[in-house]
DNA sequence: GTGAAAGCGCTAACAG
DNA sequence: CTGTTAGCGCTTTCAC
């Protein structure tokens, strides 16, 4: 390979002058119409004669024209982007592979809407403050909010700013103020615990998610309903969605010295930790203890044995969220919209 | 809760007229200077008297002013966004929790640069074509490309478009054309296999990643160098990074009937599958077979026993990539930049 | 239906 | 150092 100096001898690299992008005026000129007509053709083609529309499209193709989003956004008075907000306390989300499904799906669904996905995170309270400033400063047209806690100060700021927002999961205490998409946590948990019961298990313990989240609370409620009068607090421990907390919760129950032959864990991720604790305690799964998770994440297949779980329709959730957000941003919908999706029991060998 | 009708009776919601955002002219007026001065104050404050700068900042604070990105982008002739491109064949990335680290870090590092992260994916060849169109149509200022394959048609289009691009990992066959950030795959693999050797293991098998990726190839090379003359192809199987392929590869080696007392797997994710295969074959880890992974992902801790692995500095990689991309986009750097980061051996109980 | 023209809010080149 | 003045490329009335 020649030394850089040798190359330099040839003078500056032959940079083909990056031809400026064609503008709407170039298209108009080529099509022999006015700029306004091209604009109309670009935006639905209403009030444009078919023949004219065709020639405009030909010109667009010939010039390889694409609209300049910045100019369009400026003219339309919008930003063209949507924020996917993940607040600090949901950081564990990044641990969960399913999380990528949201990003991927949002990105895909937003593109045809001419909007970009802007991923934002807040690591601590001060960053959350900044994030709130950023969002309410008009840098985005809408917000997709992941699984918030009820005490989220961000929620009140979002409400006050009247920024179109869709929450993934139900914002406890703010149900009426926001649009949201969720699954029927309670019923799903009821179903899987009922499945456990159906396989002959009688003493079913649980490690829940955080009870100040709709998922944590809903899943515990469903568990309780399925057990009915035989619900026993001594078989209940709490976690924070992390794998480690699943292990700790299970250890707590084991230490109480109560017998149990099944364990319903609030998430697959926590279930991995739970199974580690069970294994260390010498209990085999599912022989001694049947284990059920929730979410049907990749973790469910990493478990040994593979987890019986509830399929959480993340992709569908994301699609619905974008659909609703679009309605909100377009102003076609003023009041909050609520969607509840159904889940499916996935039986594998852990229970 | 009142029925919707009852609420309607109160008439349209009391919508406080969303006060239009203050513009640069409002700031100029309040500060008693010209618009140009405010603009200069906004962009570094060069050529602005300190006293004037202060009064402009006061006005900005008083009005709660923030710049309109669309207008700025239009005036500056840039888009304000950067694409994180994940092509089809890297889809498994979404399975890997570490992947979220890239999104999170990119997003965080880009914000102070006034740029947004736009996540784009291509599911199949036709989508990849569209993605190429999109990127080269001038919708983004730069590209962050995840672990590409050498046969990526996208690569040649990106080169041709001269769009600032940074590749995560080394683009085999395109090393000179792109800037990239990678780890020393070969040395890292060499180190961990040497560790295996150091613990007294003598017959070390491996399940590699795809050999047309720099990671897959580099890790195999390091394995081979560590083994030296005792390298034996019968102990080598290939995977595609997926958990399932780790299992298949391990099964292949087991079926060959050769003895081995250690297994180096190309990624933690594949290692999970490998351990499942070993367990089913009645081999215990690490007693019968020591297992080592690569990446130090969350999966490494999900494994039972926890995986000995190589810590892959994803966050550092992402930070470097953004730094380089910024240089490229700003035009401060014309020729490709290459960075190789170092890794660290993480010894846990699997080996 | 279509053209003309007025901005959208900001940057940057140019005087002074 | 600062004010003035062109645009950046597009949408959107408003006439015709």
Report the helix count and the strand count for chain B, using DSSP H and E: 14, 12
Question: A with B: how many residue pairs have Cβ under 8 Å apart?
Answer: 119
Facing residue for B243 by CB, picked from A70, A176, A301 = A301
What is the 8-class DSSP label of residue A308? B
| A contacts of B131 (beta carbons < 8 Å) | none
If you measure CA to CA, which chain B residue comes closest to A162?
B18
* Closest by Cα among A106, A69, A115 to A86: A106
Angle at B289 between CA B285 and CA B290, to 5 degrees: 75
pLDDT tens for each residue of A260-282: 999 999 999 999 999 999 999 99
Say how far residue B240 (Cα) sits from the centre of its chain: 18
Residues A200 and A273 in one domain: yes
Phi/psi for A236 (5° steps) reads -115, 130
Phi/psi for A284 (5° steps) reads -95, 150
A43 touches strand C (CB under 7 A): no
Q: Is residue B170 part of a domain?
A: yes
* Closest by Cα among A329, A334, A333 to A78: A329
* Closest by Cα among B310, B307, B312, B317 to B278: B307
A49 touches strand C (CB under 7 A): yes
What whole-number distance in Å separates Cα of residue A61 and Cα of residue B267?
45
Structure tokens at A228: 């009915």
Residue with tokens 């295969």: B277
B75 touches strand D (CB under 7 A): yes
Residue B125, burial from CB neighbour count under 10 angstroms (0-12, 13-18, 19+): exposed
pLDDT at B17: 47
Structure tokens at A162: 């009247």
Angle between helices B24-31 and B50-63 (to 10 degrees): 120
Q: Is residue B347 part of a domain?
A: no
Q: Rounded to whole angstroms, what are the CA distances from B104 to A87, A99, B244, B328?
A: 11, 12, 27, 21
Q: Is residue B127 part of a domain?
A: yes
| A contacts of B120 (beta carbons < 8 Å) | 107, 111
Interface contact B100-A93, CB threshold 8 A: yes
Residues A176 and A191 in one domain: no
Q: Is residue A10 part of a domain?
A: no
Chain B: closest CA distance from residue A137 (Å): 7
What whole-number distance in Å separates Cα of residue A238 and Cα of residue A229?
20
Interface contact B13-A139, CB threshold 8 A: no
The gap between A298 CA and D13 C1' (Å) is 54
Q: Is residue B14 part of a domain?
A: no
What whole-number distance in Å separates Cα of residue A41 and Cα of residue A57?
8
Nucleotides of D under 7 A from a protein CB: 1-5, 7-13
Residues A259 and A168 in one domain: no
The gap between B38 CA and C2 C1' (Å) is 40
What does the DSSP assignment read for B238-251? E--SSHHHHHHHHH
Residues A177 and A324 in one domain: yes
Interface contact A116-B18, CB threshold 8 A: no
pLDDT at A133: 80
- DSSP H/E element including A104: helix A99-110
Mean pLDDT of chain A: 87
Residue B54 lies in domain: 24-67
H helix intervals, A229-335: 243-255, 268-280, 298-302, 314-330
A52 touches strand C (CB under 7 A): yes
Phi/psi for B181 (5° steps) reads -130, 125
Q: Are A283 and A222 in contact (CB under 8 A)?
A: no
Facing residue for B117 by CB, picked from A21, A80, A118 = A118
Among B7, B36, B67, the domain boundary falls at B67
pTM attached to this predicted model: 0.83
pLDDT: which is higher, B20 or A232: A232
Give the total number of structural domains in chain A: 3
Interface contact B94-A100, CB threshold 8 A: yes
Residues A285 and A255 in one domain: yes
pLDDT tens for each residue of B221-230: 999 999 999 9
The gap between A67 CA and D8 C1' (Å) is 13
Q: Name the E strands within B184-316.
A: 204-208, 236-238, 262-265, 290-292, 309-311
Choose the most confident range, by mean pLDDT, from A14-28, A252-266, B52-66, B330-344: A252-266
pLDDT at A96: 66
In the 15-74 segment of chain B, residues within 7 Å (Cβ) of strand D are 32-37, 40, 47-49, 51-53, 71, 74
pLDDT at A14 over 50: no
Q: Are B295 and B310 in contact (CB under 8 A)?
A: yes
Q: Rounded to whole angstroms, what are the CA distances from B196 to A40, B82, B289, B342?
A: 67, 42, 10, 20
Residues B254 and B291 in one domain: yes
Measured between its terminal Cα atoms, the distance across chain B in Å is 61
What whole-number distance in Å separates Cα of residue B82 and Cα of residue B33?
34
| B contacts of A134 (beta carbons < 8 Å) | 111
Cβ within 8 Å of residue A282, ≥6 positions away: none
CATH at B41: 1.10.260.40
Q: Indicate the SS3 state at residue B82.
A: strand
Burial A60-77, CB ≥16 within 10 A → b, else e: beebebebbbbebbbeee
Q: Are A239 and A258 in contact (CB under 8 A)?
A: no
User: Is the preceding peptide bond at B319 cis, omega within 30 degrees of 0?
Assistant: no
Interface contact A302-B272, CB threshold 8 A: yes
Facing residue for B108 by CB, picked from A74, A80, A121 = A121
Chain A: closest CA distance from residue B110 (Å): 10
Burial B259-270, CB ≥16 within 10 A → b, else e: ebbbbbbbbbbb
| A contacts of B94 (beta carbons < 8 Å) | 97, 100-101, 104
Mean pLDDT of chain B: 87
pLDDT at B6: 30
To test the contact with chain B by mutation, choose from A116, A141, A281, A337 the residue with the greatest count of B C-beta atoms within 10 A, namely A116
Q: Is residue A1 part of a domain?
A: no
Facing residue for B302 by CB, picked from A73, A116, A272 = A272
Residues B189 and B103 in one domain: no
Q: Rounded to whole angstroms, what are the CA distances from A154 to A28, A146, A165?
A: 46, 12, 12
Residues A223 and A261 in one domain: yes
If you measure CA to CA, which chain A residue comes closest to B86?
A104
The gap between B74 CA and D15 C1' (Å) is 29
If you measure CA to CA, which chain A residue comes closest to B140?
A69
Q: Is residue A73 part of a domain?
A: no
Residues B175 and B192 in one domain: no
What whole-number distance in Å separates Cα of residue A273 and Cα of residue A249?
9
Interface contact A302-B69, CB threshold 8 A: no
What whole-number distance in Å separates Cα of residue B41 and Cα of residue B43?
5
Angle at B240 between CA B239 and CA B244, to 5 degrees: 75
Structure tokens at A187: 């019923």
Structure tokens at A57: 């499209």
What whole-number distance in Å separates Cα of residue B246 and Cα of residue B241?
7
pLDDT tens for each residue of B277-335: 999 999 999 999 999 999 998 889 999 899 999 999 999 999 999 999 999 998 888 89
Interface contact A302-B21, CB threshold 8 A: no
Residues B134 and B209 in one domain: no
| B contacts of A12 (beta carbons < 8 Å) | none
Residue B15 pLDDT class (50, 70, 90 cuts): very low
Residues A111 and A168 in one domain: yes
Residues B129 and B157 in one domain: yes
pLDDT: which is higher, B197 or A297: B197
pLDDT tens for each residue of B81-119: 899 988 756 545 556 667 778 888 898 898 888 788 888
Q: Is residue B236 part of a domain?
A: yes
pLDDT: which is higher, A3 or A322: A322
* Closest by Cα among A158, A198, A190 to A174: A158
Angle between helices A50-63 and A35-42 (to 10 degrees): 90
CATH at A218: 3.40.50.2300
Chain A: closest CA distance from residue B302 (Å): 7
Question: Percent of chain A at pLDDT above 90?
Answer: 58
Interface contact B119-A121, CB threshold 8 A: no
pLDDT at B212: 85
């Amino acid at each position: 390979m020649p030394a850089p100096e040798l190359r330099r001898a040839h003078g500056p690299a032959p940079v083909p002058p990056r031809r400026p992008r064609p503008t709407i005026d170039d298209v108009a000129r080529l099509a022999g119409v006015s700029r306004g007509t091209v604009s109309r053709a670009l935006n639905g083609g209403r009030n444009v004669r078919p023949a004219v529309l065709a020639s405009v499209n030909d010109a667009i193709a010939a010039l390889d024209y694409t609209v300049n989003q910045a100019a369009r956004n400026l003219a339309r008075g919008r930003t063209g982007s949507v924020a996917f907000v993940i607040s600090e306390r949901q950081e564990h989300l990044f641990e969960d592979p399913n999380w990528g499904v949201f990003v991927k799906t949002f990105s895909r669904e937003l593109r045809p809407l001419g909007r970009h996905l802007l991923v934002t995170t807040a690591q601590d309270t001060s960053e959350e403050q900044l994030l709130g400033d950023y969002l309410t400063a008009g840098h985005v047209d809408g917000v997709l909010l992941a699984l918030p806690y009820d005490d989220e100060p961000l929620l009140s700021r979002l409400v006050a700013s009247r920024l179109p927002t869709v929450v993934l999961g139900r914002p406890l205490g703010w149900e009426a103020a926001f649009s949201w998409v969720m699954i029927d946590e309670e019923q799903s948990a009821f179903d899987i615990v009922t499945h456990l019961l159906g396989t002959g298990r009688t003493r079913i313990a649980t490690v829940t998610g955080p009870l100040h989240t709709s998922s944590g609370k809903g899943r515990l409620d469903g568990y309780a309903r399925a057990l009915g009068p035989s619900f026993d607090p001594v078989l209940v421990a709490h976690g924070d969605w992390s794998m480690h907390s699943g292990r700790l919760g299970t250890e707590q129950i084991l230490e109480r010295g109560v017998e149990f032959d099944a364990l319903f864990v609030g998430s697959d991720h926590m279930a991995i930790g739970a199974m580690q604790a069970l294994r260390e305690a010498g209990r085999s799964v599912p022989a001694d203890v049947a284990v059920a998770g929730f979410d049907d994440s990749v973790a469910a297949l990493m478990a040994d044995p593979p987890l019986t779980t509830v399929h959480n329709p993340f992709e569908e959730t994301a699609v619905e969220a974008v659909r609703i957000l679009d309605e909100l941003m377009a102003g076609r919908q003023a009041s909050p919209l609520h969607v509840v999706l159904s889940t499916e029991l996935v039986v594998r060998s852990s229970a």
